[in-house]
A and B are shown apart, each in its own frame.
Chain A
Amino acid sequence: MRRLYLILEISKTHLLSKKKQTIVAALGVTFGISMFIIMMGFMTGLNDLLDGLVLNRTPHIQIYNKIEASEYQPAVLLDDDRVNFIHSVKPKRRLERVHNAMPIMAELSNDRRVKGVTPQAMCKVFYLAGSNNLNGIINGIEVDEEMRLFNFKDYIVAGDANSIEKKKNSILLGAGIAKKLSLTVGDRLQVSGTAGNTYSLTIGGIFQSGMADVDDVQSFVSLKMAQQILGVGGSYISRIHVKLYNIEDAVPLSKQIEQLYDVKALDIKTANAQFETGSDIRTLISYAVSITLLIVAGFGIYNILNMFIYEKMNDIAILNATGFTGDDVMYIFIMQALIIGMIGGASGIGLGYLVSVFIDGIPFNTEALPTIKTYPINYDPKFYFTAVIFALVSTFLAGYLPARKAQKLDPVDIIRGQ
């Protein structure tokens, strides 16, 4: 403790006597650290936003009926010795509904990994507007659960999401369609099912996901309404969406579901593989740039400490002569580097945070992202922590090499040189 105090005391006096160089060296670190924090905050903020755009709304597991040719054809069972060539195998016609949807949902709801399960009934429709027939898809949903699990409310830009629950013949219309058909909340809209029956629906709200492909075709009604348009019973469910507590469970659970039930289960990892790749690469670039900045700052510290040591040759000789060891001298200079690193790191965190707050306040309005009003910034303390570690490690390394040199200096050589 005593030794540390002494080393700290000497380092402090040395640094205070060279305020300008100390500040310049610390500014290098400040700049590197604040850039790291700003870049990471901004990049991951953007990443989270883009991921959220898709991943928050995408169920972790989607369960639907698979339409694919059977792997085992009847001819295979006929005789083992023969080789059968079967051409042009077609899948068997099946209903689009999930078989035994209700028991499956009940079973999944009891699984402790599962946060929630929502049913969907999907029907293909035409939106009728005068002489125009627009292709579309209407999903029947349980809106309460969708809001709870998939942030459904964020995408309702006008009207009320609950309207479809309150009034059966309400619809949440896609923003693209609403624009094309010049419709707003409260207007009426005719839709026609594939069977030819026509329904008149009231627009209870406008839905905008931010992806034009979706907004141009997709609308939502209550599950009952969709089943009515399809002309089927209350147990008709074409898709089950599962939200998990931990996204990592998606792959194993989807495999388990496929084994247990005669359905297809698509996990989020398979469905959205490209998103993770994009995020990873953006994060990697941010790290690479920040580390480069810190290395540059490290060279600055290295240079300035080297200069310090040449200026402090006499001090080193005196300290040696009065009983300080080479190690003491080395720690004195490493301590100086670390102090520079700490000052630079602390002010870098402050500056980085302030600039982040500033960026966070800049308006950022885009049609594609209805819920976003300003630039997204991620304030994860993890980055601030990493930045401090970076600052200390890089300044330590930058200080260690000159300090080693100071440790090896021979006091007799210095005194003789006078």
Chain B
Amino acid sequence: MKPVLEARNIDKYFLDPVRFHVLKDINMKLFSKEFVSIMGKSGCGKSTLLYILSTMDTKYEGELFIDGQNVSSYSKEQLAGIRNQKIGFVFQFHYLLPEFTVIKNVMLPALKLGRESIEEIRAHAYHKLEILGIADMAEKKAFRLSGGQKQRVSIARALINNPKIIMGDEPTGNLDKKNSENVFNILRELSQELDMAMLIVTHDLDFAEKTDRILEMDDGYIL
């Protein structure tokens, strides 16, 4: 089986304030339906790795394959397209567009992709919100929601284009125990049902232990 995400010999340096080797020869594979968490101490480079794997950070050495394509040499525009279609991102801080309604927030990536009519997209977005149990919030402005609700909206947004991979940067970091369990269960179910791979950076050991595989990072290496 082909991996949906593969990193080969990735090295990353910070140049400011001094040259610093953050990621050292990272090799990893992620398969469909797999739920993988990345753990490590603060500053070990796990977020940095995630940004590279998500194609937002392009200043690295090595090769990155997403869904079989070598994206290391893609232009910024091409990478934006890859993110739009194949990657859903859930941030620690809920990162919604605060002045937009919940449903608009969810619809935006699909509108950008532009494959379906606006009505179809709206129906899909509503369906995703239903899956996450917040359909009744659809027409509210995003900034009026609670933290847990916002995080669920951002998961719905990550799902809208039916991506291959969902990446999360401490998606439960800002949530209480109950909410974070809730989020975990949702992600767990989705990876099975919707045929997606999950790659989640987390501090939360309870969270990580429930995942299929833990990538432990220290000092720029995957242990």
Contact = CB atoms under 8 A, between A and B. Distances in A.
Interface string B88-126: 010111011111100010001101111000000000000
Given A321-B56, A323-B81, A411-B56, A6 B112 contact: yes
Interface in A371-394: none
Contacts of B76: 325-326
A323 B109 contact: yes
Contact of B113 (A318, A323, A411): A323
Given A13-B99, A412-B57, A325 B77 contact: yes
Contacts of B93: 418
Nearest to B99: A17
B80 A324 contact: yes
B112 A318 contact: no
A322 B92 CA distance: 15
A320 B87 CA distance: 12
* Secondary structure class of chain A's binding surface, majority of residues: helix
Which 10 A/B pairs are nearest by Cβ-Cβ distance?
A323-B84, A17-B99, A325-B80, A322-B109, A2-B114, A323-B83, A412-B57, A325-B77, A321-B89, A6-B111
Find the residue from B47, B80, B109, B114 having the highest chain A CB count within 10 A: B80
B51 interface: yes
Given A317-B95, A321-B89, A322-B112, A412 B81 contact: no
Nearest to B86: A323
Contacts of B80: 320, 323-326, 328
Find the residue from B47, B84, B97 having the highest chain A CB count within 10 A: B97
A18 B100 CA distance: 13
Nearest to B143: A17
A378 B93 CA distance: 59
Contacts of B157: 322
B192 to A, nearest CB: 24
A322 B99 contact: no
A247 B49 CA distance: 76
Interface string A296-326: 0000000000000000001101111111111
A16 B141 CA distance: 13
A327 interface: yes
Interface residues on chain A, size class: 20 to 34
Contacts of A328: 80, 112
Nearest to B113: A323
A319 B83 CA distance: 11
Given A14-B99, A320-B80, 11 more contacts: A6-B114, A9-B104, A315-B97, A320-B56, A321-B95, A322-B84, A323-B84, A323-B161, A325-B77, A326-B80, A412-B51
A314 B111 CA distance: 19
A246 to B, nearest CB: 54
A321 B54 contact: yes
A415 interface: yes
B127 to A, nearest CB: 18
A318 B77 contact: no
Interface string A1-34: 0110010011001101100000000000000000
Contacts of B109: 322-323
B154 to A, nearest CB: 9
A16 to B, nearest CB: 7
5 contacts: A322-B89, A322-B109, A323-B83, A323-B112, A325-B80
B85 interface: yes
B131 to A, nearest CB: 19
Contacts of A327: 77
Given A6-B112, A412-B57, A318 B83 contact: no
Given A13-B99, A16-B99, A322 B51 contact: no
Nearest to A14: B99
Nearest to B84: A323
Nearest to B82: A323
A324 B113 CA distance: 9
A81 B93 CA distance: 106
B56 A412 contact: yes
Contact of A318 (B54, B96, B161): B96
Contact of B112 (A14, A324, A326, A412): A324
A326 B56 CA distance: 12
Contacts of A411: 56
Interface in B45-87: 47, 51, 54, 56-57, 76-77, 80-81, 83-85
A412 B78 CA distance: 17
B161 to A, nearest CB: 8
